Structure 1
Amino acid sequence: MITNEALERVRGWFSGRLPQDWQTEPADISIDRDEIVVTLHLPDVEPGQTEAETEGARAGRASAFREDTREQRIAIAREAQHRYERTVSWGVRIGEHEELYTHLASPTMTRLRQPQRQVLDTLVDAGVARSRADALAWCVRLVAQHEDDWLAELREAMTHVADVRTKGPTA
């Protein structure tokens, strides 16, 4: 569990380390045990004549930013990875367009009884997912999408517990 203090330290470090011209507002930083994801907010494009044109321009700007900043992002990521012992991944948000560059997809082992496996197999058989692993990932995304407020409240409560633990006596 990542404490609020640890998250604030990481956000502060990136805030001081990222070039100001890369963003129109502070970067979004999310952290788990394996990865730090830095999502930068870039200036939006001029609206096109159609939504498809605007979306294409946003995707083009995201691609150009990725190529133009590659070396500098790699250098920053190496520093952060050494400092925080986590992989650093990057993403951008331009208007309604959000794009994550190379990021982790960590394998997760789980034991499921037959009723749960049947749910996954139904999703595979229906063409919703290519495999049980994809079906399980689909289920997790669905829960996160529909239970976002509840999950946010649970994460906040866990953070408070972690903060209290750090203030307790040491062994």
Structure 2
Amino acid sequence: MAFDSAELEEMKKRWLQANVDVEKAGDWRPLAEFYTEDATYGWNYGAEHDFMAVGRDEIRDIAIGLEMDGLDGWTYPYQTWVVDAESGDMIGLWKQVNEATRADGSHYALNGIQGSWFKYAGNFQWGWQRDFFDYGNVTALFTEMLTDGVMTPGLRGRIDRVLNATELLPGWYPLGQTPVPMW
């Protein structure tokens, strides 16, 4: 299904502004309104786990709720987009940057390439989203922040929740076993 280029550009504009707004508020849950009721949102968590939220409620409560809790002070500025009006595929490449700075003045930020692949569903909503980032670089960055003493209590609590889990956390699945295909 082909989409109008102006509609896709407007979707991108709305999405970018909403991201700025939720980053300032420190709560990403309002972004859930950008997804269809049956949308899915997933990503890989390294060599053993994938994450998948199925439906707008899980996206709000788990993917951009529980999974983003503790990430106060982080921004995800989009750097560029690739948009295919024929398929509705939109890829936004972003950075993950923390407000804390190192001794040299640089911000703690995730190395490598990060991004989101969206499937536009019309009506200014996503049908699905798949994120990609280097999980090893996330681990290295969080370790550096912990060592440097700049990790916030919220981020520390988030990491402790993951490290101390005795069973799979909500939305976490063994690699390749998500309820809907990752790709």
TM-score, length-scaled by structure 1? 0.25
Going by fraction, where is helix more abundant, 1 or 2? 1
Q: Which has the higher contact order (CA 8 A, sep 6+)?
A: 2
Between structure 1 and structure 2, the one with the greater Rg is 1
